[in-house]
Amino acid sequence: MTNSKAAAQQAGLQDADAEVSRQLTTLDGWRRFVDGPPEPPALLSPGALQRLSQTERDVYDEDRLDHHARMLVVATSFVQKTVVCGRRLVLLNRHAISARRGLMVSGLPGTGKTSAITQLGRSHELLDRARHPKVSDRIPVLYITVPPAATARMVAAEFARFLGLPVRHRSNMTDIIEAVVGVCTDTRVGLVLVDEVHNISQVTRAGAEVSDTLKYFSERIPATFVYAGIGLETSELLAGTRGAQIAGRFTLVPTRPFPYGAEWKGLVATLEETLLLHKHSAGSLVKLDRYLHNRSGGMIGALSHAIRGAAIDAILDGTERVTKAGIDAIPLDHAAEVVTPLHAKASRR
């Protein structure tokens, strides 16, 4: 495979992940996420495959490519811990008038922070739907990301955008906030997920104003707030008096790279079971579980990216199997590459 082709496929995977993230920040996109992904295509028998016309084969392959491009969420111990902790806080906050407790999820990139909080949100919304069937005017969960160099108005606009509220140039902060609070209260928002909060710095005026705006929203909206970001324990989000207030009200759940062990082996097995390839030998990736740990640095995001990328290559080049060489050909994020031990890199040559 040429470098240009590999780069194009890498960019395609990144674009797909970015598209999913973008969709989560709108109500329609969030609801599609809660509804779950479409059913994966059935893997055809060799005979059925031979009977396909070229057009039918192209469509079949495209369906499989789309399946492997989707990020599979695995119910890891960290995801389960986040869901349980978040659910507990929602219950504890149910009758709180003020000073509701929140949750912070912190860790390195690729350790599953966004997956964990979105699974918490999905679990909360599915429970709310079950309790209020045939009620369409409820919005149990609100999800936003904090833009880089965010201002208070930008963050308020993100709330409004999720809810589908218009934000005009002449709209002032008070107008936006009152509209958001009114809709959130009327639609019974119970969980607010705020991702990328490491973009907030308490030591700058703009960052402090963003922090104040989120705090004001948390006081006005009767919901549990969940923050997720990189290295929050030592970030400027917790600096100063404002940071101390956050630290005093939020429970911290840290994420870390997975150690090599039974859970890691289970992750590899689960991901391998999702492959829709005609010549892949079942269990061959499980035999490579230690290599995969070294290759990804124990990062679940890097592991998923490597396996899905190799599966896409296998369909495009016709090999129809994921191999060690195929995974080696997938460039991973810099963080995963840096933590890969040198001896592991040497063993891949």
Domains assigned to the chain: 3-75+258-343 (no CATH), 77-254 (3.40.50.300)
pLDDT at 342 over 90: no
- Cβ burial 105-144 (10 Å sphere, 16+ → b, else e): bbbbbbbbbbbbbbbbbbbbbeebeeeeeeeeebbbbbbb
pLDDT at 167 over 70: yes
Mean pLDDT, rounded, for 309-338 = 88
Least confident of 143-157, 233-247, 324-338: 324-338
Mean pLDDT, rounded, for 203-219 = 93
Q: How many CB atoms lie within 10 A of CB 218?
A: 20
* Contact status, residue 275 vs residue 311, Cβ threshold 8 Å: yes
pLDDT the model gives residue 18: 46
pLDDT at 85 over 90: yes
pLDDT at 21 over 50: no
The Cα-based distances of 334 to 75, 297, 327, 338 in angstroms read 25, 11, 16, 6
